[in-house]
Amino acid sequence: MNTLDLQNQRILVTGGAGFLGKQVIDQLLKAGAKSENISVPRSHNCDLRNLEACQQAAKGQDIIIHLAAHVGGIGLNQVKPAELFYDNLMMGTQLIHSAYQAGVKKFVCVGTICAYPKFTPVPFQEDDLWNGYPEETNAPYGIAKKALLVQLQAYRQQYGFNGIYLLPVNLYGPEDNFNPKSSHVIPALVRKVYEAQQRGDKQLPVWGDGSPSREFLYSTDAARGIVMATQHYDEPDPVNLGTNSEVTIRDLVELICELMEFQGEIVWETDKPNGQPRRCLDTNRAKERFGFVAEVEFRQGLKNTIDWYRQNPDL
């Protein structure tokens, strides 16, 4: 297995100030990168939907890790499908093209498991990625991100451009996005239980019927996997990053209530959407190709996330 020495590489991390980005930078430093060689473009002065901004950002870089995304839960996907499609497609496709033009040595694109077909055999295998249309509520986002895989494979084939594509499962952990308008399931539930406790509510309304399953990857594990792939993986095939274990939404809600000591009744709002029926990844490719295995146990990761939010409820 070839190892890319990060010590003298100039590395651009888009989304580097975000929830996952901070962890990726931490893992890059642990893997030998120098902090003065890592740059993080910010959206207020580097709008990656703009081609000139992408060209400027890519100039002089050796490695680009593209984490930046316009992303949210089912609610945001229902209200803003056009924005999610356009923003993610334009950011990614222009940055990849600019990276190729600028002679960047390696491009690491972090995609989404929303790209998988709605009815994918569980556990999801990378070879099933094209066997159907994604779940409707997040298809515009998923397809925009999946187009970047096609672009990287095409640029590799025609130009010899070294781009890799990773598919992390749902992430969670301290510093996640807890905004109720755009958060994913774990931070949304943690905040919901916290606020119910603050008000003294006796009931907790939750969307759906609790039957769908999800797999969750702790943010530090995800970041470690991304950096391991940056150092060791140079092939066109997409790679899942996950834990290869699933939990139903019902069990998740009950576990969060237990860890937060919420005594009230859970009320399932069965008229609300469930989202994709099951999500669980086959993680063999990541293990075989660059040795990645998740380490953080789910209950502990959840406890860390809850503890962080309790200390920072206003963020």
Annotated binding site for substrate: 192, 207, 214
Assign residue 151 a region (left: φ > 0; alpha: ψ between -120 and 50; beta: otherwise). alpha
Beta carbons within 8 Å of 12's beta carbon, 6+ residues apart = 38, 39, 40, 41, 57, 58, 61, 63, 64, 65
Closest-CA residue to 275 (of 248, 244, 302, 243)? 248
Place of tokens 């969307």: 207
Mark whether 141 is an active-site residue. Answer: yes
DSSP characters for 132-199?
SPBPGGGHHHHHHHHHHHHHHHHHHHHH---EEEEEE-EEE-TT----TTT--HHHHHHHHHHHHHHH
- The helix/strand/coil state of 239 is strand
The single residue of 100, 141, 218, 309 carrying the catalytic annotation is 141
- Structure-token pair, residue 153: 């494979």
Closest-CA residue to 65 (of 32, 106, 124, 31)? 106
What span, in angstroms and rounded, lies between the C-alpha atoms of 22 and 177? 13
Q: What Rg value do the Cα atoms of the chain yield, rounded?
A: 19
Q: How many other β-carbons are positioned within 10 Å of the β-carbon of residue 57?
A: 22
- Residue 91: its H or E element: helix 81-101
Q: Give rounded-to-5 percent helix, strand, coil for the chain.
A: 45, 15, 40
- Give the active site residues: 141
